[in-house]
Amino acid sequence: MIKKKIIILSAFVMMISSYANARDQIKIVGSSTVYPYTTVVAERFGKQGKFKTPVVESTGTGGGFKSFCGGVGVQHPDMTGASRAIKKDEMELCVKNGVTEIIELPIGNDGLTFAHSIKGKDANFTKAQLWKAIAHDVVIDGKLVKNPYKNWNDIDKSLPAIKIEILVAPPTSGTRDAWDDLIMSKGCDEAFKKLTDPKNCTKYREDAAVIEAGENDTLIVQKLGSTPNAFGYFGYSYLVANKDKIKAAKIDGIAPTIEGIQKYTYPVARPLFLYAKKAHASVIPGFKEFLAEYTGKSAVGSTGYLFKVGLVPNAKETEEKVRDVATKLVAMKN
Protein backbone atom coordinates (compact mmCIF):
# COMPACT_ATOMS: atom_id res chain seq x y z
CA MET A 1 0.00 0.00 0.00
CA ILE A 2 2.69 2.45 1.05
CA LYS A 3 4.90 1.26 -1.79
CA LYS A 4 2.14 1.96 -4.27
CA LYS A 5 1.68 5.44 -2.92
CA ILE A 6 5.40 6.15 -3.21
CA ILE A 7 5.38 4.98 -6.81
CA ILE A 8 2.42 7.20 -7.66
CA LEU A 9 3.99 10.16 -5.89
CA SER A 10 7.34 9.77 -7.59
CA ALA A 11 5.65 9.36 -10.95
CA PHE A 12 3.81 12.60 -10.28
CA VAL A 13 6.99 14.43 -9.32
CA MET A 14 8.76 13.10 -12.40
CA MET A 15 5.90 14.20 -14.59
CA ILE A 16 6.16 17.72 -13.24
CA SER A 17 9.91 17.93 -13.50
CA SER A 18 9.97 16.47 -17.00
CA TYR A 19 7.35 19.02 -17.89
CA ALA A 20 9.54 21.75 -16.49
CA ASN A 21 12.56 20.46 -18.37
CA ALA A 22 10.98 20.39 -21.80
CA ARG A 23 9.24 23.62 -22.55
CA ASP A 24 7.74 24.12 -25.99
CA GLN A 25 6.41 27.58 -25.34
CA ILE A 26 8.19 30.93 -25.27
CA LYS A 27 8.11 32.74 -21.92
CA ILE A 28 8.32 36.50 -21.84
CA VAL A 29 8.40 38.79 -18.80
CA GLY A 30 9.00 42.50 -18.34
CA SER A 31 7.65 46.01 -18.55
CA SER A 32 3.96 46.74 -18.33
CA THR A 33 4.46 49.39 -21.05
CA VAL A 34 5.75 46.80 -23.51
CA TYR A 35 3.22 44.16 -22.37
CA PRO A 36 0.31 45.37 -24.57
CA TYR A 37 2.50 45.18 -27.68
CA THR A 38 4.15 41.86 -26.86
CA THR A 39 0.77 40.27 -26.17
CA VAL A 40 -0.65 41.42 -29.49
CA VAL A 41 2.32 39.90 -31.31
CA ALA A 42 2.07 36.74 -29.20
CA GLU A 43 -1.61 36.33 -30.02
CA ARG A 44 -1.10 36.75 -33.77
CA PHE A 45 1.93 34.45 -33.62
CA GLY A 46 -0.13 31.75 -31.90
CA LYS A 47 -3.01 32.14 -34.37
CA GLN A 48 -0.71 31.19 -37.25
CA GLY A 49 -0.91 27.71 -35.78
CA LYS A 50 2.73 26.65 -36.14
CA PHE A 51 3.80 27.28 -32.56
CA LYS A 52 2.12 27.68 -29.19
CA THR A 53 1.17 31.16 -28.06
CA PRO A 54 3.97 32.58 -25.90
CA VAL A 55 3.14 33.26 -22.25
CA VAL A 56 3.59 36.96 -21.51
CA GLU A 57 3.88 38.20 -17.94
CA SER A 58 3.64 41.80 -16.83
CA THR A 59 6.31 42.16 -14.13
CA GLY A 60 7.72 45.64 -14.66
CA THR A 61 11.05 46.43 -16.31
CA GLY A 62 13.21 45.87 -13.22
CA GLY A 63 11.45 42.68 -12.17
CA GLY A 64 11.70 41.44 -15.72
CA PHE A 65 15.48 41.83 -15.84
CA LYS A 66 15.79 40.17 -12.46
CA SER A 67 14.21 36.94 -13.65
CA PHE A 68 15.60 37.21 -17.19
CA CYS A 69 19.13 37.45 -15.80
CA GLY A 70 18.45 34.54 -13.42
CA GLY A 71 20.29 32.12 -15.66
CA VAL A 72 20.20 29.99 -18.78
CA GLY A 73 17.78 27.07 -18.83
CA VAL A 74 14.13 26.38 -19.45
CA GLN A 75 13.02 27.51 -15.99
CA HIS A 76 14.16 31.03 -16.83
CA PRO A 77 12.27 33.31 -19.24
CA ASP A 78 13.47 33.65 -22.82
CA MET A 79 12.77 37.32 -23.36
CA THR A 80 11.98 40.43 -21.40
CA GLY A 81 10.36 43.70 -22.37
CA ALA A 82 11.87 46.95 -21.09
CA SER A 83 10.81 50.58 -21.21
CA ARG A 84 14.47 51.61 -20.89
CA ALA A 85 17.84 50.18 -21.90
CA ILE A 86 19.42 47.53 -19.68
CA LYS A 87 21.41 49.03 -16.78
CA LYS A 88 25.03 48.23 -16.01
CA ASP A 89 24.30 46.34 -12.81
CA GLU A 90 21.61 44.31 -14.56
CA MET A 91 24.10 43.43 -17.27
CA GLU A 92 26.58 42.34 -14.59
CA LEU A 93 23.91 40.17 -12.95
CA CYS A 94 23.21 38.55 -16.31
CA VAL A 95 26.88 37.81 -16.96
CA LYS A 96 27.36 36.48 -13.43
CA ASN A 97 24.55 33.99 -14.01
CA GLY A 98 25.86 32.87 -17.37
CA VAL A 99 23.55 34.92 -19.58
CA THR A 100 26.31 36.35 -21.71
CA GLU A 101 24.75 36.59 -25.15
CA ILE A 102 21.82 39.00 -25.15
CA ILE A 103 20.01 40.23 -28.22
CA GLU A 104 18.81 43.81 -27.84
CA LEU A 105 15.90 44.87 -30.03
CA PRO A 106 14.56 48.43 -29.93
CA ILE A 107 11.08 47.54 -31.13
CA GLY A 108 9.66 51.04 -31.29
CA ASN A 109 9.06 54.20 -29.34
CA ASP A 110 6.70 55.50 -26.74
CA GLY A 111 5.95 59.11 -25.98
CA LEU A 112 4.61 60.23 -22.65
CA THR A 113 1.74 62.62 -23.15
CA PHE A 114 0.78 65.33 -20.71
CA ALA A 115 -2.92 65.35 -21.35
CA HIS A 116 -6.19 66.83 -20.17
CA SER A 117 -9.88 66.80 -21.00
CA ILE A 118 -10.94 67.97 -24.46
CA LYS A 119 -13.22 70.44 -22.67
CA GLY A 120 -10.18 72.42 -21.49
CA LYS A 121 -8.31 75.04 -23.52
CA ASP A 122 -5.24 73.97 -25.49
CA ALA A 123 -2.14 74.30 -23.39
CA ASN A 124 1.62 74.57 -23.80
CA PHE A 125 4.18 74.09 -21.06
CA THR A 126 7.93 74.21 -20.83
CA LYS A 127 9.85 71.58 -18.91
CA ALA A 128 10.81 74.18 -16.28
CA GLN A 129 7.15 75.11 -15.79
CA LEU A 130 6.16 71.48 -15.40
CA TRP A 131 8.95 70.95 -12.90
CA LYS A 132 7.81 73.97 -10.90
CA ALA A 133 4.26 72.67 -10.86
CA ILE A 134 5.20 69.22 -9.55
CA ALA A 135 8.39 69.64 -7.50
CA HIS A 136 8.34 69.44 -3.72
CA ASP A 137 10.68 72.40 -3.18
CA VAL A 138 11.45 75.31 -5.49
CA VAL A 139 13.89 78.22 -5.41
CA ILE A 140 12.46 81.69 -4.91
CA ASP A 141 14.79 84.67 -4.46
CA GLY A 142 17.77 82.40 -3.98
CA LYS A 143 16.16 80.46 -1.16
CA LEU A 144 14.82 76.95 -1.04
CA VAL A 145 11.11 77.03 -0.16
CA LYS A 146 8.23 74.58 -0.16
CA ASN A 147 6.35 74.75 -3.45
CA PRO A 148 3.98 77.73 -3.06
CA TYR A 149 2.33 77.67 -6.52
CA LYS A 150 -1.43 77.21 -6.38
CA ASN A 151 -2.46 78.27 -9.88
CA TRP A 152 -0.70 77.83 -13.19
CA ASN A 153 -0.39 81.60 -13.64
CA ASP A 154 1.55 81.82 -10.36
CA ILE A 155 4.36 80.04 -12.16
CA ASP A 156 4.21 82.11 -15.31
CA LYS A 157 1.85 84.96 -16.24
CA SER A 158 1.30 83.49 -19.70
CA LEU A 159 -0.27 80.32 -18.29
CA PRO A 160 -4.03 80.10 -17.64
CA ALA A 161 -5.46 81.14 -14.28
CA ILE A 162 -6.62 77.68 -13.25
CA LYS A 163 -5.75 75.56 -10.24
CA ILE A 164 -2.80 73.20 -10.59
CA GLU A 165 -4.12 69.66 -10.42
CA ILE A 166 -1.94 66.87 -11.74
CA LEU A 167 -2.56 63.12 -11.55
CA VAL A 168 0.74 61.28 -11.34
CA ALA A 169 1.83 57.65 -11.41
CA PRO A 170 3.16 56.04 -8.21
CA PRO A 171 6.95 55.75 -7.67
CA THR A 172 6.95 52.05 -8.64
CA SER A 173 5.83 52.85 -12.16
CA GLY A 174 8.19 52.86 -15.14
CA THR A 175 6.14 55.69 -16.63
CA ARG A 176 7.06 57.85 -13.65
CA ASP A 177 10.76 56.92 -14.05
CA ALA A 178 10.65 58.10 -17.64
CA TRP A 179 8.83 61.30 -16.73
CA ASP A 180 11.35 62.02 -13.95
CA ASP A 181 14.28 61.41 -16.30
CA LEU A 182 13.00 63.47 -19.20
CA ILE A 183 11.03 66.26 -17.52
CA MET A 184 11.80 66.59 -13.81
CA SER A 185 15.59 66.22 -14.05
CA LYS A 186 15.85 68.41 -17.13
CA GLY A 187 13.39 71.06 -16.04
CA CYS A 188 15.07 71.37 -12.67
CA ASP A 189 16.52 74.80 -11.77
CA GLU A 190 20.30 75.19 -11.85
CA ALA A 191 19.96 77.22 -8.65
CA PHE A 192 18.07 74.34 -7.06
CA LYS A 193 20.82 71.88 -7.93
CA LYS A 194 23.37 74.15 -6.26
CA LEU A 195 21.37 74.52 -3.07
CA THR A 196 20.57 70.86 -2.56
CA ASP A 197 21.21 67.36 -3.83
CA PRO A 198 20.15 67.17 -7.52
CA LYS A 199 18.41 63.90 -6.66
CA ASN A 200 15.71 65.99 -4.96
CA CYS A 201 14.69 67.32 -8.38
CA THR A 202 12.45 64.28 -8.73
CA LYS A 203 10.75 64.72 -5.37
CA TYR A 204 7.04 65.46 -5.84
CA ARG A 205 5.05 67.89 -3.74
CA GLU A 206 2.65 66.37 -1.23
CA ASP A 207 -0.25 68.83 -1.20
CA ALA A 208 -3.50 68.64 -3.14
CA ALA A 209 -1.94 69.90 -6.39
CA VAL A 210 -0.29 66.57 -7.14
CA ILE A 211 -2.44 63.49 -6.73
CA GLU A 212 -1.02 60.02 -6.87
CA ALA A 213 -3.52 58.13 -8.98
CA GLY A 214 -2.27 54.55 -8.97
CA GLU A 215 -0.69 52.36 -11.64
CA ASN A 216 -3.85 52.12 -13.68
CA ASP A 217 -3.60 54.52 -16.62
CA THR A 218 -7.15 53.77 -17.75
CA LEU A 219 -8.39 55.16 -14.45
CA ILE A 220 -6.32 58.32 -14.88
CA VAL A 221 -7.87 58.80 -18.31
CA GLN A 222 -11.37 58.40 -16.87
CA LYS A 223 -10.64 60.92 -14.13
CA LEU A 224 -9.21 63.42 -16.60
CA GLY A 225 -12.33 63.11 -18.71
CA SER A 226 -14.52 64.13 -15.80
CA THR A 227 -12.36 66.95 -14.34
CA PRO A 228 -11.68 69.56 -17.04
CA ASN A 229 -8.82 71.35 -15.26
CA ALA A 230 -6.80 68.32 -14.24
CA PHE A 231 -3.73 67.08 -16.11
CA GLY A 232 -2.05 63.70 -16.11
CA TYR A 233 0.75 61.88 -17.90
CA PHE A 234 0.73 58.41 -19.47
CA GLY A 235 1.82 56.50 -22.54
CA TYR A 236 0.93 57.60 -26.07
CA SER A 237 -1.25 54.53 -26.68
CA TYR A 238 -3.74 55.70 -24.05
CA LEU A 239 -4.09 58.99 -25.91
CA VAL A 240 -4.70 57.14 -29.18
CA ALA A 241 -7.36 54.94 -27.61
CA ASN A 242 -9.17 57.79 -25.85
CA LYS A 243 -9.04 60.62 -28.35
CA ASP A 244 -12.73 61.29 -27.77
CA LYS A 245 -12.12 62.25 -24.14
CA ILE A 246 -8.66 63.70 -23.78
CA LYS A 247 -6.09 65.73 -25.70
CA ALA A 248 -2.40 66.32 -25.20
CA ALA A 249 -0.77 69.58 -24.13
CA LYS A 250 2.30 70.76 -26.02
CA ILE A 251 5.64 70.51 -24.26
CA ASP A 252 8.21 73.15 -25.22
CA GLY A 253 5.83 74.02 -28.04
CA ILE A 254 5.82 70.56 -29.52
CA ALA A 255 2.72 68.38 -29.66
CA PRO A 256 3.17 64.61 -29.41
CA THR A 257 3.08 63.37 -32.97
CA ILE A 258 4.27 60.12 -34.41
CA GLU A 259 7.12 61.83 -36.21
CA GLY A 260 8.17 63.84 -33.18
CA ILE A 261 8.28 60.75 -30.99
CA GLN A 262 10.09 58.77 -33.66
CA LYS A 263 12.86 61.36 -34.01
CA TYR A 264 12.87 62.31 -30.31
CA THR A 265 12.14 65.96 -31.12
CA TYR A 266 9.18 65.58 -28.77
CA PRO A 267 10.83 65.98 -25.36
CA VAL A 268 9.23 63.01 -23.60
CA ALA A 269 9.87 60.20 -26.05
CA ARG A 270 11.76 57.02 -25.30
CA PRO A 271 12.62 53.80 -27.09
CA LEU A 272 11.10 50.50 -25.97
CA PHE A 273 13.13 47.32 -25.97
CA LEU A 274 12.80 43.59 -26.17
CA TYR A 275 15.76 41.58 -24.86
CA ALA A 276 16.20 37.95 -25.85
CA LYS A 277 18.57 35.20 -24.73
CA LYS A 278 20.59 33.82 -27.60
CA ALA A 279 21.33 30.61 -25.72
CA HIS A 280 17.63 29.72 -25.91
CA ALA A 281 17.30 30.28 -29.64
CA SER A 282 17.93 26.66 -30.60
CA VAL A 283 16.20 25.15 -27.54
CA ILE A 284 12.78 26.79 -27.49
CA PRO A 285 10.65 26.07 -30.56
CA GLY A 286 9.46 29.20 -32.30
CA PHE A 287 12.09 31.48 -30.72
CA LYS A 288 13.55 32.75 -33.99
CA GLU A 289 10.20 32.88 -35.72
CA PHE A 290 8.74 34.96 -32.89
CA LEU A 291 11.55 37.51 -33.10
CA ALA A 292 11.05 37.62 -36.85
CA GLU A 293 7.32 38.23 -36.38
CA TYR A 294 7.91 40.92 -33.74
CA THR A 295 10.34 42.85 -35.91
CA GLY A 296 8.50 42.11 -39.16
CA LYS A 297 6.96 44.76 -41.34
CA SER A 298 3.39 43.67 -40.65
CA ALA A 299 3.98 44.25 -36.91
CA VAL A 300 6.31 47.21 -36.40
CA GLY A 301 6.12 48.75 -39.87
CA SER A 302 4.65 52.21 -40.34
CA THR A 303 1.19 50.73 -40.96
CA GLY A 304 1.71 47.56 -38.92
CA TYR A 305 -0.75 46.20 -36.40
CA LEU A 306 1.32 47.45 -33.44
CA PHE A 307 1.02 50.97 -34.80
CA LYS A 308 -2.74 50.62 -34.53
CA VAL A 309 -2.50 49.88 -30.80
CA GLY A 310 -0.26 52.89 -30.21
CA LEU A 311 3.36 51.79 -30.68
CA VAL A 312 5.26 54.52 -32.49
CA PRO A 313 7.37 52.76 -35.11
CA ASN A 314 11.12 53.24 -35.51
CA ALA A 315 12.49 55.36 -38.33
CA LYS A 316 12.93 53.34 -41.51
CA GLU A 317 16.68 52.70 -41.17
CA THR A 318 16.42 51.67 -37.52
CA GLU A 319 13.51 49.38 -38.35
CA GLU A 320 15.56 47.54 -40.96
CA LYS A 321 18.62 47.37 -38.71
CA VAL A 322 16.55 45.86 -35.90
CA ARG A 323 15.05 43.33 -38.30
CA ASP A 324 18.55 42.37 -39.35
CA VAL A 325 19.68 41.90 -35.74
CA ALA A 326 16.62 39.77 -35.04
CA THR A 327 17.01 37.44 -38.01
CA LYS A 328 20.77 37.01 -37.57
CA LEU A 329 20.50 36.82 -33.77
CA VAL A 330 23.31 39.29 -33.20
CA ALA A 331 24.18 39.53 -29.52
CA MET A 332 25.01 42.92 -28.03
CA LYS A 333 28.50 43.67 -26.76
CA ASN A 334 28.86 43.77 -23.02
Partner 1 sequence: MNNIKKEALLKKRYNAEKRFKLYGILSIFLAIAFLFILIFNIFSKGSGAFLKTEILLNINFDQKKLGLNNNSSEKEIREASFDEILKDALLALAPSAPELKQAELVDIVSIDAELEIKKFFLNNRDILNKSYEVSLTLSDDLDQVYKGNFPRDIPEDRRRFSDFQLKIYDELVSKNKIVSKLNWSFLTNADSREPELAGVASSLVGSFFTLFVCLLLSFPLGILAAIYLEEFAPKNKITEIIEVNVNNLAAVPSIVFGLLGLGVFLNYFYLPRSTPLVGGMVLALMTLPRIIIPCRAALKAVPPSIREGALALGASKVQTVMHNVVPLAMPGTLSGTIIGLSQALGETAPLLLIGMVAFINVVPSTPLDPSAVLPVQVYLWSESAERGFVEKTSATIIILIFFLIIMNSFAIYLRNKFEKKWS
- Residues that bind partner 1 in the complex, under the rule CB under 8 A: 15-17, 19-20, 25, 27, 29, 32, 35-36, 38-40, 42-44, 46-47, 52-53, 55-59, 75, 118, 215-219, 235, 237-238, 240-244, 303, 309-310
Question: Between 44 and 84, whose beta carbon lies closer to partner 1?
Answer: 44
| d(C-alpha 223, C-alpha 239), whole Å | 14
Question: Between 43 and 212, whose beta carbon lies closer to partner 1?
Answer: 43
Q: Which helix (H) or strand (E) holds 305?
A: helix 305-308
Q: How far is the CB of 327 from partner 1 (least distance, A)?
A: 25
Per-position b or e across 220-234, b if 16+ CB within 10 A of its CB: bbeebbebebbbbbb
Q: Which residues pair with 109 in a beta bridge?
A: 271, 312
**Distance (Å) of CA 45 to CA 41, 289, 292:** 6, 9, 10
Q: Which residues pair with 117 in a beta bridge?
A: 246
CB 200 within 8 A of CB 148: no
Q: How far is the CB of 200 from partner 1 (least distance, A)?
A: 30
Q: How far is the CB of 120 from partner 1 (least distance, A)?
A: 14
CB 74 within 8 A of CB 283: yes
Q: How far is the CB of 24 from partner 1 (least distance, A)?
A: 11
Question: Between 141 and 244, whose beta carbon lies closer to partner 1?
Answer: 244
Give the distance from CA 225 to its chain's centroid: 23
Q: How far is the CB of 305 from partner 1 (least distance, A)?
A: 8
Q: How far is the CB of 199 from partner 1 (least distance, A)?
A: 29
Question: Between 129 and 175, whose beta carbon lies closer to partner 1?
Answer: 175
Q: How far is the CB of 274 from partner 1 (least distance, A)?
A: 15
Question: Between 133 and 276, whose beta carbon lies closer to partner 1?
Answer: 276
Question: Between 34 and 155, whose beta carbon lies closer to partner 1?
Answer: 34
| d(C-alpha 250, C-alpha 274), whole Å | 29
Q: How far is the CB of 81 from partner 1 (least distance, A)?
A: 12
If one counts every other C-beta atom within 10 angstroms of the C-beta of residue 182, the result is 20
Question: Between 238 and 266, whose beta carbon lies closer to partner 1?
Answer: 238
**Distance (Å) of CA 6 to CA 2, 12, 18, 114:** 6, 10, 18, 62
DSSP 8-state code for residue 304: S
**Ramachandran quadrant class, 236 (left: phi over 0; alpha: psi -120 to 50; beta: rest):** alpha
Q: What is the chain's alpha carbon radius of gyration, rounded to the nearest angstrom?
A: 23
Question: Between 180 and 217, whose beta carbon lies closer to partner 1?
Answer: 217
